């Protein structure tokens, strides 16, 4: 979806619509699953959440392709709940900073050598 929607040099309506519908189908499947449990595999945060949250979470937060409105991600209330719940986890916040060289300086940690590097970023912001 992202390639055709945001990056392709030629916008092909069929490709955008086809893959937008696939993303919406996946969001619907994910939303229905999250209506049954707090996280993907049940009530505990697991590797399943860690594996798919970076893409689906960023999409739900409107951080990918500027496509949140186009995909109506606000309609997937369980996906949005899950996204926010994971986004505030301290380890996720730290992990999203590592190797980041864009955005607000307080969200960047271009090089990480040990745990104290996070403290340095916090002091600088």
Q: Which residues contact 100 (CB under 8 A, 6 or more apart)?
A: 107, 108, 109, 110
Q: Which domains does the chain have, with CATH numbers?
A: 2-88 (1.20.1050.10)
Q: What would the pLDDT profile of 20-35 be if each residue is shown by its tens digit?
A: 999 999 999 999 999 9
Q: What are phi and psi of 42, to 5 degrees?
A: 140, -145
Q: How far apart are CA 39 and CA 13, in angstroms?
A: 34
90-97 vs 116-124: helix axis angle to the nearest 10?
A: 80
* pLDDT averaged over 10-residue windows placed end to end, the chain, 125 residues: 95 97 98 99 98 96 92 98 97 82 74 70 66
Of the candidates 119, 123, 2, 120, which has an alpha carbon nearest to the alpha carbon of residue 70?
Answer: 2
Q: What's the pLDDT tens digit per position in 43-62? A: 999 999 999 999 999 999 99
């Amino acid at each position: 979806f992202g390639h055709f929607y945001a990056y392709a040099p030629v916008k092909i309506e069929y490709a955008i619509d086809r893959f937008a519908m696939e993303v919406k189908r996946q969001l619907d499947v994910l939303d229905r699953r999250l209506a049954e449990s707090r996280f993907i595999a049940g009530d505990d945060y697991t590797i399943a959440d860690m594996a798919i949250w970076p893409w689906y979470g960023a999409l739900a937060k409107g951080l990918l392709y500027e496509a949140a409105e186009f995909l109506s991600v606000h309609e997937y209330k369980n996906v949005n709940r899950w996204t926010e719940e994971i986004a505030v986890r301290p380890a996720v916040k730290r992990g999203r900073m590592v190797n980041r060289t864009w955005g607000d300086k307080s969200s960047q940690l271009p090089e990480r050598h040990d745990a104290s590097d996070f403290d340095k970023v916090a002091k600088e912001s």
